[in-house]
Amino acid sequence: MAELVFFSGTMDSGKSTLALQTDHNHAARGRSGLIFTRDDRAGTSRLSSRLGLEVDAREVTDATDFWDMVAAERQSGRVVDYLVCDEAQFYSPAQVEQLARLVDEVELDVFAFGITTDFRTRLFPGAARLIELADRVEELQVRSLCWCGARATHNARTVGGVMVVEGDQVVVGDVAGAPDGGPVSYEVLCRRHHMRRMTQADARRRSTVTGQLDLGGGA
């Protein structure tokens, strides 16, 4: 039976890599798929992994209707067995509903990949609808880690090196240390350190003062 699966994890946890691997494995068995993304860091109509792989993809916009797109592909004679949908947190709830309908009524598999929460720890609308509708929500197996060594579960945004909790929900960007990072950057943290607004830079600053690594647990 066809499935809508949402593979979720923090930023930099391997979702785009898994999206590319998923497409590769299905294509290698003769299945035919369409690859979608929205606002990938590598630019319009590209799906990129930090491991270096990058492929062409269909860019999702506010105007995209997945139901109509698949119908048009099929009318032109193309077989569509599955969809790979990266950066799915940026899709609208209505678009996620179109994906669910394709699974149920056309028997396509839909593999969606995305982060669940934004820099304020709030669900993205697209991710929320995926959690509500998916047959399965799969957490990525490779753990991304907070600077303290705990599993990273949340995404922090920094502006000029300072963690912020206000601003636009969508600002395309990369994790700190990325080669072409701008003033807005991201860092994955455990909940404890997200709540305490303690990034790696903050921890380093404090340890310089105290001479000890401060895990932020004190009063």
Give start and end residues of each alpha helix (H) in 116-175.
125-133
Query: Annotated binding site for substrate: which residue ranges?
Result: 170-173, 186
Does 170 engage in binding with ligand LXEULUCI (CB under 6 A)?
yes
Does 202 engage in binding with ligand LXEULUCI (CB under 6 A)?
no
What residues from 24 to 53 belong to the interface with ligand ADP (CB under 6 A)? Answer: 49-51
Distance CA 130, CA 123 (A): 11
Give start and end residues of each alpha helix (H) in the chain.
15-28, 66-75, 93-101, 125-133, 191-195, 200-210
What residues from 122 to 181 belong to the interface with ligand ADP (CB under 6 A)? Answer: 142, 144
Distance CA 186, CA 12 (A): 10
x/- site string to ligand LXEULUCI, residues 109 to 128, per CB under 6 A? ------x--xx---------
- Strand 184-189: give its sheet, edge to edge: 162-164, 154-159, 184-189
Helix (H) / strand (E) element for 82: namely: strand 82-85
Ordered DSSP codes for 169-182: S-----BTT-TT--
187 catalytic? Reply is no
Write the single-letter amino acid at 8.
Answer: S
x/- site string to ligand LXEULUCI, residues 46 to 85, per CB under 6 A? ----------------------------------------
Q: Contact at 8 Å (CB) between 187 and 12?
A: no
What residues from 174 to 193 belong to the interface with ligand LXEULUCI (CB under 6 A)? Answer: 186
Binding part of the chain for ligand LXEULUCI, among 73-81, 98-106, 169-177, 205-213 by CB under 6 A, reads 169-177
Catalytic residue among 54, 59, 73, 87: 87
Which spans of this chain sit near ligand LXEULUCI (rule: CB under 6 A)? 11-12, 15-16, 41, 115, 118-119, 155, 157, 169-173, 186
